[in-house]
Amino acid sequence: MAKKVAVVGIGHSKFGKRPDVTIRELAHEAVFPALEDAGLSAQDIDAVVVGVAGDEFAAQGSCAAVINDYIGMQGKPLYRVEAACATGSAAVRTAWALINSGLAETVLVVGAETMTHVGTPRATELMAKAGDTRWEYPFGVTFPAFYALMATAHMHQYGTTREQLSMVSVKNHKYGAMNPYAHLRKEITLEEAMKSVMICYPLNLYDCCLISDGAAAAVLASEEKAKKLTDTPVWIIGLGAASDNMMIAERESLTSLKATRLAAEQAYKMARIKPEEIDVAVVHDCFTIAEIMAYEDLGFCKKGEGGKFIEEGQSYIGGKIPVNIDGGLKSKGHPLGATGVSMTVEITRQLRGEAGKRQVEGAEIGLSHNIGETGQYCFVHIYKR
């Protein structure tokens, strides 16, 4: 019989440039606060799911095994998950499935990545190889270029402006400055965002997320176990997952991510809710245009109105649906394997009323949206207090 699944413990390392730690040490920073939060020890965990996107970043093969040893989980069933930038959410979904199927009662999910250790040029090259290495990567197409194509298409088709793109960055930096775990805790003005150095037109420096090191962890438990562990379980009530063509040239559209639309449809159907019932969301803002497209693809606003949505302040606290009030990838940072788990941590914190100055009052239903590559992977999770 299928089982209900809840998040019962969360932990988070500081995101940023962390030359002081290895990937195993970063994971440790997140795991033990999560176990303490759940009131569990390593002996109480039935299985471990580790999300690490790229061993080359850490200069260590089989990162999951190294992390598992360091956190004292030897002997437990161990799963390594990889789905590019959506690796962390794939790990959460895997843990949910283990519990839902009855194979485990408590599962530890860990997402971790050390990206800055290899330097920016090498990190950019490694990520670019996630594009098609026959028809995209050899021609110098990096991730800013992929999303620049989407941005120019959106601007042409819907009249989205450079200023609206920068407004996303201003919002996310506003909230990232309040997040003690964020990589870049710095508020910026619209003028600063607009005038920053161009990376790939129309995307400039403040339109692009950070290359970061970091880790996040969550403990998931069955309903029977969760009710014994906590008075504030956060239930995962809807999940959706989808994919799209590998090559961006073969996509049906450059102004929408098909994988997001399909995954969101599945998650809403499973949770039996509509988009307007979401109280708080974290979405994959690897570039500012990605957040604007997410507003539309997730049903927060009509197609083509994402720019208007941010301009009217609808994704701020007090707006229609507060989005990325942890700073998002843009300000909090984007350690590939950790991002999706970090999203679960943030929504759990919000639904438990523990987000401090960033708290959305009365939040009961939350959503996380995590994209891998440029839409080749997508995971949407819906949570309820």
209 is catalytic: no
Cα 59 to Cα 29: distance, rounded to the nearest angstrom? 20
Q: Which two tokens stand for residue 298?
A: 């997730």
Helices (H), the chain: 23-38, 55-58, 63-70, 87-100, 120-128, 143-158, 162-176, 190-195, 223-229, 258-271, 288-297, 306-311, 328-332, 336-351
Cα 164 to Cα 1: distance, rounded to the nearest angstrom? 48
| Residue that the structure tokens 């998650």 belong to | 267
Q: Are 305 and 298 in contact (CB under 8 A)?
A: no
- Which residue of the set 85, 200, 209, 378 is catalytic? 85
Q: Which two tokens stand for residue 67?
A: 């992390």
Give SS3 for 115: coil
The partner residues of 21 in beta bridges, in order of sequence, read: none
| DSSP states along 75-109 | TS-EEEE-BTBTHHHHHHHHHHHHHHTTS-SEEEE
85 is catalytic: yes
Taking alpha carbons only, the member of 257, 227, 253 closest to residue 242 is 257
Give SS3 for 378: strand
- Which residue of the set 28, 154, 173, 334 is catalytic? 334
| C-alpha distances in Å from residue 108, one per residue of 49, 161, 251, 363 | 6, 43, 36, 25
Per-residue DSSP letter, 210: P
Q: Which residues are catalytic?
A: 85, 334
